[in-house]
Amino acid sequence: MSDLLERLRARGWRMTSQRRVVAEVLDGDHVHLTADEVHARAVARLPEISRATVYNALGELVSLGEVIEVSTDGRAKRYDPNAHRPHQHLVCSRCGTIRDVHPAGDPLTDLPAEQRFGFTVSAVEVTYRGLCPGCA
Amino acid sequence: MSDLLERLRARGWRMTSQRRVVAEVLDGDHVHLTADEVHARAVARLPEISRATVYNALGELVSLGEVIEVSTDGRAKRYDPNAHRPHQHLVCSRCGTIRDVHPAGDPLTDLPAEQRFGFTVSAVEVTYRGLCPGCA
DNA sequence: TCTTGACTTGGACTCTGTCCATCGTAGGAT
DNA sequence: ATCCTACGATGGACAGAGTCCAAGTCAAGA
Ligand SMILES: [Mn+2]
Ligand SMILES: [Mn+2]
Ligand SMILES: [Zn+2]
Ligand SMILES: [Zn+2]
């Protein structure tokens, strides 16, 4: 699913050079970059792009459902372009490496009705933590 | 499970008036307070306690395993004294209310071996999101 | 009571993110 | 191809959350 630019254009997203560069940086399925990392990579292609613009573009991509915000460490949020296939994250507690994982079954069904306290539950985020092969 | 002060003293935690107040604020099982909320409540009992001291004490309680850090919203971390019974969280997307929940089974077993990529997986955090009865 | 290492303090500092007035431009209209 | 203008970009100020540090204070063992 690498036609991010196409989809954005088709949805009437006004295409500026800045937005194009941000989308290109995120294109591909296995990155989980912070806003400042996105900015750094964007600057390599378009030196004048500002931090505010990167934040704006990321916020819009999230609103459009093309990118997911992930916060696994209580520090900077990470931006995940793998928004079209539901998945969870496996995080190394030492080096911070993040892997996409696909648990068996729907994690939502693990929460029995009597544990929902009248809530309308619509989403679930799961973060598995441990040590990666390199850090173990 | 309200003998937090006792356990801390038994473990040789040097007991200052500041630390006592922080522990007292957290004592009880159903709070999920931010550091600044803990500070505000602590100030009510000990007006001169500083923010830095609250952060220090909270960090130590976390290290001691007596309090859990929870970050459900990418903003301020919350401190949860319910550290002795594993549980997960159900969060209202509108008002931010947090409830402790106990899903069926061990969420760790949902992650098959072939999805662990050589990681030693030791913990899992699950956040269920939806609307609480008042916000629905 | 004395001593001392551990704890507390407030303010400066860092990191992450938001806001805003002003300037620039993408893309429809002509 | 050129013009218009509403929408987007910019950078710098600002805000929220948390960390760090040098100096002062105190809990608790001797
Ligand atoms: Mn991902
Ligand atoms: Mn809890
Ligand atoms: Zn690692
Ligand atoms: Zn609510």
Model pLDDT for residues A42-101, shown as the tens digit of each residue: 999 999 999 999 999 999 999 999 999 999 999 999 999 999 999 999 999 999 999 999
Confirm whether residue A95 is marked as ligand binding.
yes
Structural domain range at position A54: 3-80
Q: Is residue A136 part of a domain?
A: no
Burial classification of residue A17, based on how many CB atoms lie within 10 Å of its CB (0-12 exposed, 13-18 middle, 19 or more buried): exposed
- Six token digits for residue B77: 């971390």
**pTM of the predicted model, to two decimals?**
0.94
Taking the CA of A92 as reference, the closest ligand is 3
B64 alpha carbon – ligand 3 mean position (Å): 23
- Determine the length of chain B: 136
Nucleic strand C under 7 Å from the C-beta of A72: no
- Same-domain status, A16 and A75: yes
- Same-domain status, B47 and B76: yes
SS3 A71: coil
Burial classification of residue A90, based on how many CB atoms lie within 10 Å of its CB (0-12 exposed, 13-18 middle, 19 or more buried): buried
Give the list of residues 6+ apart from residue B94 with CB closer than 8 angstroms, or none.
B131, B132, B135
Nucleic strand C under 7 Å from the C-beta of B20: no
Contact A119/B99, CB-based, under 8 Å? yes
B69 closest CA partner among A118, A29, A90, A127: A127
SS3 B114: helix
Q: Is residue A72 part of a domain?
A: yes
| Closest chain A CA to residue B126 | A126
Task: Report CA-CA distances (Å) from A13 to A19, A63, A66.
Answer: 9, 12, 12
Residue from A88, A119, A127, A131 whose CB has the most chain B CBs within 10 Å, to mutate: A119
Closest-approach nucleotide to residue A53, Cα vs C1': D9
A100-124 pLDDT, tens digit each: 999 998 999 999 999 999 999 999 9
Q: Helix, strand, coil proportions of chain A in percent (round to 5)?
A: 35, 20, 45
- Six token digits for residue B61: 């309680």
SS3 A119: coil
- Same-domain status, A37 and A104: no
Q: How many CB pairs under 8 A join A and B?
A: 130
B58-115 pLDDT, tens digit each: 999 999 999 999 999 999 999 999 999 999 999 999 999 999 999 998 999 999 999 9
Contact A133/B119, CB-based, under 8 Å? yes
A53-70 pLDDT, tens digit each: 999 999 999 999 999 999
- Six token digits for residue A83: 């928004």
- Same-domain status, A8 and A71: yes
Q: How many domains does chain B have?
A: 2
- Same-domain status, B39 and B100: no
The H or E element that residue A52 is part of is helix A51-63
Taking the CA of A83 as reference, the closest ligand is 1
- Same-domain status, A47 and A73: yes
| Closest chain A CA to residue B135 | A119
The pLDDT of residue B28: 76
